[in-house]
Structure 1
Amino acid sequence: MTPALKILVILTSHATAGTQPTGVWLEEFTTPYYAFADAGAQVEVASIAGGAVPIDPHSIEAAGKNPASVERYLKDEALRARLASSKQLDGLHAADYDAVFMPGGHGTMWDLPDSAALARLLSEAWGEGKVVAAVCHGPAGLVNVKDEKGQPLVAGRRVAAFTNTEEVAAGMDKTVPFALETRIRSLGARYESGPDFQPFALRDGRLVTGQNPASSARVAELVLQALREGK
């Protein structure tokens, strides 16, 4: 029997953006999570600090008004319990997983770039041939990651992430600590994007990235594709 794929999902622990509550954008977690789990993968849920993961309140509506994966999550006591008691990132090892995935939400803009443990784990994952993926603001976790040559992981690679114009439209451009698109470009990435708030995702070998919440399903598909191909 072929052993199940193991995917590590790393979430933000940062709960405020200026004076506003923030955290993970729930659909960016739930849509890929269920895509991975339904494909037979073992999915582990971790966060920068461990424990309860903050959820952006704007990403949850009343029952019946959410995306399908969020509705499923609201009825899934086991997954809600896992999000309330996530593993702490520090101490986890890339060798134990086939892929690492980072959902977005504005909280990621504060704690993912500042986490030395995250940068180290992702650099190890890349060097060990694992799939590395992120969506929306999740690519903030890539900005301090090095490839096997010691260069920025994103340099010379096709990358999608939340656009500067989407940030302005969201009213957060004056709140976030940096403009994600601008930072990704400054690291030498071949940054690409589609229309604002429309699905857009890229796969460059083992690196998979998506532009915004609408891109989460496509990112999950590309991660599973990369894992099946063993690239």
Structure 2
Amino acid sequence: MKKILIVETNVTSYGDTKDATGLWLGEATEFAEDVQKAGFEVDYVSPKGGFVPLDPRSMKYVDESIMNFYATKDFQNRALANSLSPSEVNPDDYVAIYYAGGHGTMWDFPEDEALQKITIDIYQNNGYVTSVCHGIAGLLNIKDNKGNYLIAGKTITGFTRSEEILAGKRSVVPFLNKVEAEKRGANFKEKRAYKEFALQDDQLITGQNPFSAHAVAKLLIQNLK
């Protein structure tokens, strides 16, 4: 059976503050549930492996579907308590990789060379590289075998400046996704704040915000079917 790898953050706070962050729950559960219903298996990986914290604010935006998936033993065990470490992952096993968001990703995704290697291997095996919201942080520094940024010349999206302002986090985030993406030659596209938006450019599929996980999953499934 074809498998999809979901990447999650291990970061528990905004930098050196005591303000809690972590994985945005719905961005993992909604995507995972959609692709599993379509017949794909999922695995969960994080930079350090093991425990994955939840952004407490994400619990304010849950519906019955998110809560039901969150409550399953499989998700509790494999996604939150015992996520894989990069060293346990064989890229050849996966047809796609998905970077879930939550502000914590801005601190541990960008410089993780092991995850970058897994991602480029999946991509070069004709797999898909996908992200939603702050998960775009995992795409920023991926380079191909020629040393070129994977996102260079590609149209992508992610959490926007206006959304950071509305979230009250503009002053604490270490960078802005659009600024960093454009530095690497990407074409960053955005729509209205907190409205569902996902787009595809070749093997890259990206979503703008927490309300775009379903849209990313839908595009990926269409390509894999």
Q: If the TM-score is normalised by the length of the shorter chain, which range does it land in?
A: over 0.9
Aligned residue runs from structure 1 range 127-206, under 5 A: 127-206=124-203
> Can you give the 5+ residue segments of structure 2 that lack an aligned partner in the other structure?
none
The answer (yes or no) to whether the contact 1:205–1:226 under 8 Å persists in 2 is no
What is the Cα deviation at residue 54 of structure 1? 0.6
- Aligned to 2:81, which of 81, 84, 103? 84
For 1:92, the aligned partner's letter is V
Who is 2:206 aligned against? 209
Aligned residue runs from structure 1 range 18-167, under 5 A: 18-61=17-60, 66-82=62-78, 83-167=80-164
For 1:34, the aligned partner's letter is E
SS at 2:87's partner residue? coil
Q: RMSD of the alignment, in Å?
A: 1.3
Cα distance per residue 1:37-60 (max 9 Å; x no partner): 111111011111111111001111
Q: What is the identity percentage for the equivalent residue pairs of Structure 1 and Structure 2?
A: 37
What is the Cα deviation at residue 147 of structure 1? 3.0
**Separation in 2, partners of 1:90, 1:136:** 25
The answer (yes or no) to whether the contact 1:126–1:147 under 8 Å persists in 2 is no
1:5 aligns with 2:2: yes
For 2:189, the aligned partner's letter is E
Structure 1 runs of 4+ aligned residues shifted over 3 Å read none
**Separation in 2, partners of 1:126, 1:85:** 25
TM-score normalized by the length of structure 2: 0.94
Higher helix share: 2
What is the Cα deviation at residue 148 of structure 1? 4.8
The answer (yes or no) to whether the contact 2:29–2:70 under 8 Å persists in 1 is no
**Separation in 2, partners of 1:44, 1:29:** 11
**Separation in 1, partners of 2:148, 2:9:** 25
Aligned residues: 222
> Can you give the 5+ residue segments of structure 1 that lack an aligned partner in the other structure?
none
